[in-house]
Amino acid sequence: MMNQKLFLGLLLISFSGLLGLTICELVDVTEKSYDIGTIQAENKSIQKEIASLRVSLSQSTALNNFEDKILEEGFEQVAKFDYIIVSSNGEIASR
């Protein structure tokens, strides 16, 4: 009688442990599947954006269109550069 109760108790504990592990694994697989789906959706969105940028770049083949595109991106046009030439020994050569 004592061995039977011990056996049933161990059987119940083993079953409960296996059921708990199974539930944990199902939750883990579900979370990872959701994460994979989210990453795939972001990947598709990025691929569409890249395709759109490629089309936009291919349409702006002329230099004027290229300059307009740069200005649209917020860069400023520079007309004059000021620079200092420094010789190899560290002295200022000209300006």
Give 17-57 pLDDT, tens digit per residue. 999 999 999 999 999 999 999 999 999 999 998 888 887 77
Residue 59: pLDDT above 90? no
Evaluate whether 58 touches 66 at the Cβ level (below 8 Å): no
β-pairing, 92-94 vs 85-86, is: antiparallel
Provide the whole-model pTM: 0.49
Q: What is the mean pLDDT of the chain?
A: 82
3-state DSSP call for residue 86?
A: strand
Dihedral sign (CA 7, 9, 11, 13):
negative
Residue 67: pLDDT above 60? yes
The proportion of the chain whose per-residue pLDDT surpasses 70, expressed as a percent, equals 78
**Looking at residues 61-71, what average pLDDT do you find?**
67
Q: Say which amino acid occupies 36.
A: I
